[in-house]
Amino acid sequence: MSMNTQGRPSAPSGTVQIEKPATFTGNRALDMEEPLLFELGHWNICGVDLDEPEEFTPRLGGHERQSDIALPAFTEPEAMRHYVRLSRMNYAIDAGLYPLGSCTMKHNPRLNEKLSRLAGFADLHPLQPVSTASGAYELIDMLSEWLMQLTGTSAVAMSPKAGAHGEQCGMMAIKQALKARGEQRSIVLVPESAHGTNPATAALIGYKVVAVPARDDGTVDPQAVADKLKEHEGEVAALMLTNPNTCGLFEPQVVEIANLIHEAGAYFYCDGANFNAIVGKARPGDLGIDAMHINIHKTFSTPHGGGGPGSGPVVLSERLAPFAPLPFIRRTEKDLELVENASQLAEGEQPFGRMTAFHGQMGMFVRALAYMLSHGADGLQQASEDAVLNANYIRVGLQDLMSLPFGKKPCMHEVLFDDTFLKDTGVTTLDFAKAMIDEGYHPMTMYFPLVVHGAMLIEPTESESRASLDLFVATLRDLVMSAKQGNTSRFEGAPFHAPRRRLDETAAARKPVLKWTAPSPTEVEPR
């Protein structure tokens, strides 16, 4: 009798496996069936005691509610149990390896969380007197200094709330700089392999987007950039380039590209989403960038996803530093000064305005600085090296079975496969991803970047141990071999073991049901 991976005796060969019986509740032990909130609640009671409102005259011009609000009510234990049960259905970085490429789902050290909850930071209010927040300004200034040192830049805007917000900030600084020169350029160059937010940001602030094709090796050709600059001479405001790019590759001719952009009088915006691959190894400012946002949830390990909270500081070159938005912190001979309005500006400072009401996300700043200080310069460099090492470990472990669109050359922090290896198996890229769920893994990023057909982008981050990577590689190898051996039943209809089966995601996106409707009552014939 052998031992399985959980350490329990495996069933002897020839043993009859008993089919699991259905349960009355629909629960399967601790795997509990959980209805919707509206299906659970009580409609004729209230979960809290509320005083009857006094008489009042509605001021909504006839638009006030004509019926009961119809919200379900719960006791406190019922509400708690509902959300705990739902949480157990979610995949999370604290549950297992989260291989989403281009997202960097890394471990969030609990030390960061502890420090962010210190009363002096957690209890700050954006409207409290400036004189009472000197410690916060000191922390923001220290974090700013680290960001400028790590990127080799001259200034940093701390107020943007996330990566895309940071992109907008950087591009608005570029637009303001061109305006100060008396120029109204209309075009932004964006490589085909860019994040989707790059062209969206450029279009949002009024620029026409012109695509730059990628080479067969997944990188940008300086000649292609030169051709676009010549074709649109005098009209190009900026190039938005991701480096390392979304194919998981470092742009080897980035300095040459930067020089071409600057010679044409334009600015070089670098998408810093993948900065976590080069921290301590290369400084983007030394490569010629003028502006770059930093996703500190990716690079410096603040919580990621769920719509926030986020933070996307933007570092700026000396050429763009005067155009950083308000508010910003200025260090004087005596103290730190919060610059919030035009009357406080020094000679040469020409901010394009204000990105947001207040000065960024304090909790994110605390977490990021805690991460930096606990790692130190050498630790941050090692984190980058380990991220690249882990991605290449996966690449080497799978390259004999899975197809690499740009050949078996080293990658950076993420490795990109395509679906060529699934040809003639009857298994689609989506089938493969859904089968990963049955094995306990969130699928990798699928169908992105768009320059690769059937893309599968895997980023293990530096957080994963060799043991976890070995199991992940072994699992994917097993899935690939099943597909190649014609075991399509393992994939068609997967996932089979998730709380919910496969959804029609296309229909859900095109025809979303945004309102819950009570099901019609059904009559059951007595037996």
**Which run of H or of E encompasses 395?**
helix 362-398
Token output for 132: 């009472």
Lowest mean pLDDT among 35-44, 82-91, 208-217: 35-44
pLDDT band at 17 (very low <50, low <70, confident <90, very high): low
Q: What percent of the chain has pLDDT over 90?
A: 69
Q: Decide: 452 and 419 in contact? Cβ < 8 Å.
A: no
Partners of residue 293 on adjacent β-strands: 314
Domain ranges across the chain: 111-369, 384-509
Q: Which single residue is written with the structure tokens 């676009």? A: 228
Q: Supply φ then ψ for residue 435, to 5 degrees.
A: -70, -25
Measured distance CA(413)–CA(176) in Å, rounded: 34
CB 12 within 8 Å of CB 1? yes
399 burial class (0-12, 13-18, 19+ CB within 10 angstroms)? middle
Residue 19 is predicted with a pLDDT of 67
pLDDT at residue number 501: 86
Tokens of 210: 């012109």
CA dihedral 456, 461, 466, 469 (to 10 degrees): -20
b (16+ CB within 10 A) / e for 128-143: eeeeebeebbebbeeb
pLDDT at 13: 52
Q: What is the rounded average pLDDT of the residues 144-163?
A: 95
Statement: residue 99 has pLDDT above 80: yes
Q: What pLDDT, on a 0 to 100 scale, did the predictor assign at position 1?
A: 44
Q: Is the pLDDT of residue 61 over 90?
A: no
Residue written as token pair 């637009």: 175
pLDDT-derived band of residue 527, with 50, 70 and 90 as boundaries?
low
What does the alpha-carbon distance between residue 80 and residue 102 come to, in Å, rounded to a whole number?
A: 34
State mean pLDDT over 390-406: 97
Q: How confident is the model at residue 500 (pLDDT cuts 50, 70, 90)?
A: confident
**490 is written with which tokens?**
């393992």
Q: Does domain 384-509 have CATH number 3.90.1150.10?
A: yes
Tokens of 469: 């990577």
- Asked if residue 78 has pLDDT above 50, the reply is yes
CB proximity list for 330: less than 8 A, separation 6 or greater: 336, 337, 339, 346
**DSSP code for 209:** E
Unique residue bearing structure tokens 């915006």: 269
- Terminus-to-terminus CA distance in the chain, angstroms? 46
pLDDT at 300: 93
pLDDT score recorded for residue 70: 76
User: Which band of pLDDT confidence, cut at 50, 70 and 90, is reported for residue 14?
Assistant: low
Model pLDDT, residue 307? 53
What pLDDT was estimated at residue 292?
A: 98
Comparing 127 with 31, the larger pLDDT belongs to 127
pLDDT exceeds cutoff 70 at 338: yes
Residue 172 confidence (pLDDT) = 97
d(CA 436, CA 431): 9
pLDDT reading at 143 higher than 60: yes
Q: Using CA atoms, how far apart are residues 156 and 293, in angstroms rounded to an integer?
A: 9
User: Per-residue pLDDT for 198 more than 50?
Assistant: yes
Higher-confidence position of 200 and 504: 200
Mean pLDDT within 200-223 = 95
Mean pLDDT, rounded, of the chain: 90
Tell me which amino acid residue 500 is: R
**C-alpha span between 345 and 354 (Å, rounded):** 13
Give me the mean pLDDT over the 186-207 stretch.
94
Instruction: List C-alpha distances in Å: 191 to 218, 238, 270.
Output: 10, 12, 11
Percent of the chain with pLDDT over 70: 94
pLDDT in tens, 248-291: 999 999 999 999 999 999 999 999 999 999 999 999 999 999 99
pTM reported for the whole predicted model = 0.89
Model confidence at 357, in pLDDT bands (50, 70, 90)? confident
Selected from 3.40.640.10, 3.40.50.300, 2.40.50.100, 3.40.50.1010, the CATH number assigned to the domain covering 111-369 reads 3.40.640.10
Q: Within 246-295, where are the H helices?
A: 254-263
Chain centroid offset of residue 52 CA: 45
Least confident of 99-103, 209-213, 232-236, 391-395: 99-103
- Give the separation between CA 296 and CA 291, rounded to whole angstroms: 16
pLDDT at 4: 47
Q: CA-to-CA distance for 476 and 432, rounded, in angstroms?
A: 9
- Exposed e or buried b per residue across 95-124, where buried means at least 16 C-beta atoms within 10 angstroms of its C-beta: eebbbbbbbbbbebbeebeebbeeeebeee
| Residue with more model confidence, 308 or 185 | 185
The more confident residue out of 475 and 357 is 475
What is the CA angle 238-239-245, rounded to 5? 155
367-398 burial code (b ≥16 CB/10 A, e <16) = bbbbbbeebeeeebbbbbbbbbebbbbbbebb
